[in-house]
Amino acid sequence: MTDYCLRLACPLFLTFMMLAGSPAGARSLLPPDPYPSTYEPLSRQHTIIVNATILDGAGARFERGSVLMRNGELVAIGTDLTPPDDAVIIDADGRWVTPGIVDIHSHAGNAPLPMEFRAYDGWDVNEGTDPNTAHLFAEHGIYIQDPNFATALAGGVTTIQVLPGSVNLFGGRGAVLKNVPGRTVQDMKFPDAPVTLKMACGENPRGYYGSRGIAPASRMGIIAGYRSAFEAAREYSQKLEGKKAERPPRDFRLETLAGVLNGEVRVHFHCYRADEVANVIAVAREYGFDIAAFHHVPTAYKIAPLLADNGVCAAVWSDWWGFKMEAYDGIRENAALVDRAGACAIIHSDMGELAQRLNIETAKAVAAGRRAGLDIPHEHAIRWITSNAARTLGLEDQIGSLEPGKNADLVLWSGDPFSVYTKADLVFIDGAIIYDRQDPARQPGSDLMLGQPALEDIE
């Protein structure tokens, strides 16, 4: 790939790549996915859900609305749809419908349950052997039998980004998955999802490497580490553009970073402290790349206008704070204040117990914002776990909102999704029912849970 399409040799391919998402004028530096998705949708029927309260993920709310799904695609939404003869009709009877939830910070599969005390030691989250492991793929650390996938599904999560951990400056590529059971991780991969890269700042890299006598041992070393790596990536990109004889041997780390510099790789950045976020944004400006989202950042509210000005999302927890100095200034209004500044707010999980309740996590963040006097309607807030999240994955044209032409990923909730009493009744991915709360035969489970005596039904 790096060789067969240089300069003007195949203009059609270049045009295709530009249409497919590379920034205008930039040539793709990334070969095709060496481990492409083998996902196949489950069997599905044309389906219409009627009489629903719909939050469409794009900012609108429909009362007594309908959504029509055909061949895995959402083809119509509105309050005046006539059920077609060939569609299964589901009467929501006032229950709520939202897009499937998109969780952009998961460790499902790379920190699997149950924890084995003798073997856990970081699970397959961190390759803590080098601060730059931009050449890694999170998918290679994923155990698909992790029960976290099923519990997230029962909570309405349809798309998951599994990320490497945060001890490395460059942790590796994220794995964007459809939350469908498979036999291999490739069976779950979201087809042709853009490449993402996990980066990290702050306490974790400096603490981990500093304690081992390796750089970075300070936040200064962290920023210097980014610059050295991006400087090398810039040279690598330039050489790739040069004469064939002078082209460098393939370098997997630099290939990913070169993809960051030309906008093909979306950067997901673990950072807690607002002032560090500002430093990282300055480095991104220096090297001319964009950051899709900062993750965790409990103090995003302190620099919300900066995030808005730079078009960067903040993916945060609703109320987790205080467990370390970097989180001591975390507040419950964080997401709401980011949102209020015009920046893109997202609620993420990072942990399986939160992944299964992202609707509840969002509810708490919304409630805190409302108590602070901010007007945050349900139809706006649902974006925090749907369309805003999809945007950071470069999948906003396929998932995240219920608009004609998009994938039929949606959740039928038992009630208001922001109520603690509400549960997901039905979860659709590409128009297929992946989870049905009333039908045990439509509830995927981990192999782990089979035959466990402690799970026998009680009288």
Partner 1 sequence: MKLLSVLFLVAFAAASAKAETTAIINARAVTMTAAGTIDGATIIISEGRIDAVGEGLTVPAGARTIDASGRPVTPALMNSGSQLGLIELGSARDTDDSSAGESGLGASFDVQYALNLNSVLIRVALADGLARAVVLPLGTDQAPFLGIGALLHLQTPAAVLGQHGLAAMVRIGGAASGGPEQSRAAHWQLLRNSLEDARVYAADPGKYAMAGNRRSLAALVPVVEGRMPLVIHTLRESDIRQAVALADDHGLRVIIYGGNEAWRVADLLATKRIPVVLDPSANQPATFDTVGTRADNAAILERGGVTIAFVASRLGQNYNTAASMREGAGLAVANGLSWEAALAAITRNPARIWGIAETFGTLEPGRDADIVIWDGDPLEVMSAPAVVLIAGVPVSLATRQILLRDRYAPDHDAELPPAYR
- Which residues lie near partner 1 (CB under 8 A)? 113-118, 147-148, 151, 203, 301-302, 304, 319-326, 328-333, 337, 340-341, 351-354, 356-357, 360, 363-364, 366-367, 370-372, 418-423, 448-449, 452-455, 458
Helices (H), ranges, 341-437: 352-355, 358-371, 378-381, 387-392
Q: How far apart are the first and last CA of the chain?
A: 62
Would you say 21 or 415 has its CB closer to partner 1? 415
Q: How far is the CB of 290 from partner 1 (least distance, A)?
A: 24
B/e letters for 296-317, b = 16+ CB within 10 Å, e = fewer, are bbbbbbbbbebbbebebbbbbb
Residue 441, both tokens: 């035969």
User: Is residue 286 within 8 Å of 321, Cβ to Cβ?
Assistant: no
What is the closest distance, in whole angstroms, from the C-beta atom of residue 205 to partner 1 in the complex? 15
Q: How far is the CB of 422 from partner 1 (least distance, A)?
A: 7
Distances in whole angstroms, Cα of residue 410 to Cα of each of 97, 98, 167, 285 = 7, 6, 35, 37
The C-alpha torsion from 167 through 169 and 172 to 177, rounded to 10°, is: 70
Q: Of 111, 5, 92, which is closest to residue 50 (Cα–Cα)?
A: 92
Residue 150 vs 410, nearer CB to partner 1: 150
The encoded tokens of residue 398 equal 């396929």
Q: Toward partner 1, which CB reaches closer, 66 or 299?
A: 299
- When the beta carbons of 85 and 375 are compared against partner 1, the nearer one is 375
CB atoms within 10 A of CB 148: 27
φ, ψ for residue 213 (rounded to 5)?
Answer: 75, 25
Give the separation between CA 356 and CA 427, rounded to whole angstroms: 13
CA distance 274 to 299: 5
Q: How far is CA 450 from CA 329, 445, 453, in A?
A: 43, 8, 9
For partner 1, which is the closer residue by CB, 226 or 301? 301
Distance between CA atoms of residues 306 and 418, nearest Å: 29
Between 118 and 183, CB nearer to partner 1: 118
What are the structure tokens assigned to 127, written together? Answer: 């390759």
Q: 332 or 406: whose CB is closer to partner 1? A: 332
For residue 363, the one-letter residue type is: A
Q: What angle do CA 301, 302, 304 make, to 5 degrees?
A: 55
**Identity of the residue, 28 or 166, whose beta carbon is nearer to partner 1 in the bound complex:** 166
Q: Which of 352, 276, 365, 277 is nearest to 320 (CA)?
A: 365
Contact 42, 19 (CB under 8 A): no
Nearer to partner 1, 144 or 395 (CB): 144
CA atoms within a 13 Å half-sphere pointing along the CA-CB vector of 43: 1
Q: Helix 274-287 vs helix 219-241: angle between axes, to the nearest 10 degrees?
A: 20
Q: For residues 290 and 319, which CB has a smaller minimum distance to partner 1 in the complex? A: 319
Instruction: Return the number of other C-beta atoms located less than 10 Å from residue 416's C-beta.
Output: 16
Q: Looking at beta carbons only, is 150 or 313 nearer to partner 1?
A: 150
Interatomic CA distance for residues 6 and 186, integer angstroms? 30
| Closer Cβ to partner 1, 284 or 341, answer by number | 341
